[in-house]
Structure 1
Amino acid sequence: MAIDLIETLKQLFNNEFCGKAAAQLGESESGIQKALGGIIPTVLTGLLAKAGSGESGGLMHLLHQASGTDISQLTNGGAGIPSGLLAKGSAFLQTLFGGRSGEIAGAVAQYAGIRPQSADTLLQAAAPAALGVVGKHADTAGLGASGVLELLNSQKDKILASVPSGLGLAGILGVGSLSDIGARLSSFTGAFKSAARTPGHTVHESTTSGGNQWITWLIIAIAAILLLWWLLRGCGARETMTVVESDSITMIEDTHATAPVARESIKVTLPDGKVLDAYKGGIEDQLVQFLQDPNAAAGKDVWFDFDNLNFHTGSAEITPESQVQINNLAAILNAFPKAKIKIGGYTDATGDAKKNQQLSQERATAVVTALAAANVKPVQLQGAEGYGSQFAKAAADAPDEERKLDRRISVSVREK
């Protein structure tokens, strides 16, 4: 069954949605409608560029991830922009546009006459919805890479023609014209089909990420080596070992080497009367003082580091113990409803830079998802971005005591 991507997404982001989004974001309904008129084909153009890049495996993995998106949230009668979409939006935008999503949001805001923050929120909602529509259709129709490429190639002209010229999208994406994106897609689609017909040439069209199974075996091998090392070391010494789940990698420390630094427990009282258990100088203490200070200005350079947020080794799964600080941050945001934040993920300078960036992005997104699940208003969550090791201060060969400061998840207060 054929699907018209532009029209399908217009039906999802209909007048009813625009009205609710306008009320939630404090914008005019006409401004929201105009913004979405540019955002929908823009996100699909990003998908066309991804499809024409020659990485069909990456394209199918992306759509497989997006196919689980619950796009019914847009039409089930809920109020405003679903937090479930916003939680995924930042990661998908990063995959489609790299670091250009902020520039795109600015262009949409200027074109539609709305605030950049509102445009960014709409982009974060539209990205998982658009990719979810394509991913679900691919699953339902049983499309492999070849089928998805043909689908996108057949609709590229309508998609590219729907992008408002006032956005200047070609310049933002670094191409001479949007037709260049269409030409690349057509060229790659033809080459892909030709390769598939070539005798002896196998084209893999799996929609899953089974090719990453080697990572699992690598983790198992490393775990076995660490276990053997620990057992052998235990035969010759009576040292107790503690595994600390850090923001980036797993650290192993001798518990007797240095005494743990005592932290002073305090009570942090919020404007709504709620009292939080926290540590003096911790993120709760710092953040509340900042939000209550009339002379402290918010902005993209204002960051606060989580100090009790950890993940399971090598994953973006937040440990159960970390939920306390997640809930504390959610309580703070609820008590300061004008506050808007962005989550940033960072790693140290060791290891593969690309993998570090990916892990930091996944972990930052996981925090946004957790905050949304803790009932933080979607408009207060301005996205998540993984910076990997690009801001690491310690050298890769520096002592771990220095490098661990670079492994963190941080909160940027964009408005207060």
Structure 2
Amino acid sequence: MENLIVNAARSLFNQEVVQRMANRFGESPDHLRKGLEGVIPTVLLALQRKDPDDLQPILDQAKLTYGTLNATSRFNVETPAEEQLDNSAATQQSLMLQLFGGNFITVVEAVQMYAGVKSEAAKGLIYASVPAIFSVLSRNGADWSTQHIYATLQDNRAGIVEMLPNALSTLTVNTKMDEGRRAAVPPVTPADAIVDPTHTSPPQTVHNAPLKHTIQKPNKVRRSNIWWLIAFAIILVLWFMFGRGCQGSSSSTADQDTTAVY
């Protein structure tokens, strides 16, 4: 289902604007268009998830940054793309933090992978899409009221979600960097350890350490016993050979001596 807000924001990026961006970043215009298809609904959904109290400071910051916004003139091809994007990158850092919290880098990486562009180009797409979106939501800067923009976002939520590419759908899970959810995750491991003590690591460590010694010591004993047995066998053989030889020679000598006497 088409959405008027998404389409209106996309329409501001005509062929000439996209080509200028492509020249700036050294990317294919088709890849940049694909990136915009994902970035615009992603930014809109990040705004839509804010309650009025969270949305108010974002709108104040956007109004301060863009003033009386006319996106058509802002993205006019007569204005160098370098100037447009550099200004956005310099002035929107705090706005990105308000929009995405600590997830901004995650959003950039997802857009980068989805569109097949470099990280710098993915950031540029996000920076450039924000003023275009606020231009549409504020009616070219004529109405920045929180009530109006909040109602517009809520009324169009379903249509915005449907226009979000599947590859970027996970970005809508949490754009507020909810620390409470993160804090609730670590206790899971200790809880499992208490319920099932057999899975704790200490018994495994104690059990493994003796095994190495009990396996190695018998081997040493057996090897030393084998060498002693071999040595003892060699001694017996030598004694049998040389000992009996000596006895034989002694007997023959005694016989000769007896014969000589008689």
TM range (shorter): 0.5 to 0.7
Corresponding position of 1:130: 133
Q: Secondary structure at the match of 1:173?
A: coil
Corresponding position of 1:92: 95
Q: Secondary structure at the match of 2:122?
A: helix
Whole-Å Cα distance in 2 between the matches of residues 149 and 157 of structure 1? Answer: 14
Contact 1:35/1:108 (8 A) holds in 2: yes
Whole-Å Cα distance in 1 between the matches of residues 28 and 6 of structure 2? Answer: 23
Greater fraction of residues in strand: 1
Corresponding position of 1:21: 21
76 and 20 in structure 1: CA distance in 2 versus 1, 3 angstrom threshold: closer
Corresponding position of 2:255: none
Q: Secondary structure at the match of 2:93?
A: helix
Q: Secondary structure at the match of 2:138?
A: helix
CA distances 1:160-195 after superposition (whole Å, capped 9, x unpaired):
2111110231356389xxxxxxxxxxxxxxxxxxxx
Corresponding position of 1:117: 120
Whole-Å Cα distance in 2 between the matches of residues 103 and 155 of structure 1? Answer: 25
Does residue 1:58 correspond to 2:57, yes or no?
yes
The share of aligned pairs that are identical, in percent, is 24
CA distances 1:115-162 after superposition (whole Å, capped 9, x unpaired):
11210121122223322432345x52x563332222111211111211
35 and 155 in structure 1: CA distance in 2 versus 1, 3 angstrom threshold: same
Contact 1:89/1:126 (8 A) holds in 2: no
88 and 130 in structure 1: CA distance in 2 versus 1, 3 angstrom threshold: farther
Q: Secondary structure at the match of 2:114?
A: helix
Select between 80-89 and 102-111 the one with higher mean Cα deviation: 80-89
- Paired AA for residue 166 in structure 1: A
131 and 88 in structure 1: CA distance in 2 versus 1, 3 angstrom threshold: farther
Contact 1:21/1:80 (8 A) holds in 2: yes
Whole-Å Cα distance in 2 between the matches of residues 41 and 173 of structure 1? Answer: 13
Whole-Å Cα distance in 2 between the matches of residues 29 and 133 of structure 1? Answer: 23
User: Higher relative contact order at CA 8 Å, sep ≥6: structure 1 or structure 2?
Assistant: 2
Contact 1:35/1:111 (8 A) holds in 2: yes
Corresponding position of 1:173: 175
How far apart are 1:33 and its partner, in Å? Answer: 0.7
Could you list the runs of 5+ residues in structure 1 that have no partner in the other structure? Answer: 176-416
Contact 1:47/1:96 (8 A) holds in 2: yes
How far apart are 1:37 and its partner, in Å? Answer: 0.7
C-alpha RMSD over aligned residues: 2.7
Does residue 1:40 correspond to 2:40, yes or no?
yes
Aligned length: 170
Q: What is the TM-score when the length of structure 2 is the normalising length?
A: 0.57
Whole-Å Cα distance in 2 between the matches of residues 80 and 63 of structure 1? Answer: 20
Contact 1:45/1:160 (8 A) holds in 2: yes
174 and 165 in structure 1: CA distance in 2 versus 1, 3 angstrom threshold: farther
Corresponding position of 1:189: none
Could you list the runs of 5+ residues in structure 2 that have no partner in the other structure? Answer: 178-262
20 and 171 in structure 1: CA distance in 2 versus 1, 3 angstrom threshold: same
Corresponding position of 2:109: 106
Q: What is the TM-score when the length of structure 1 is the normalising length?
A: 0.37
- Paired AA for residue 34 in structure 2: K
How far apart are 1:108 and its partner, in Å? Answer: 0.6
Q: Secondary structure at the match of 1:55?
A: helix
Contact 1:63/1:134 (8 A) holds in 2: no
Whole-Å Cα distance in 2 between the matches of residues 101 and 174 of structure 1? Answer: 10
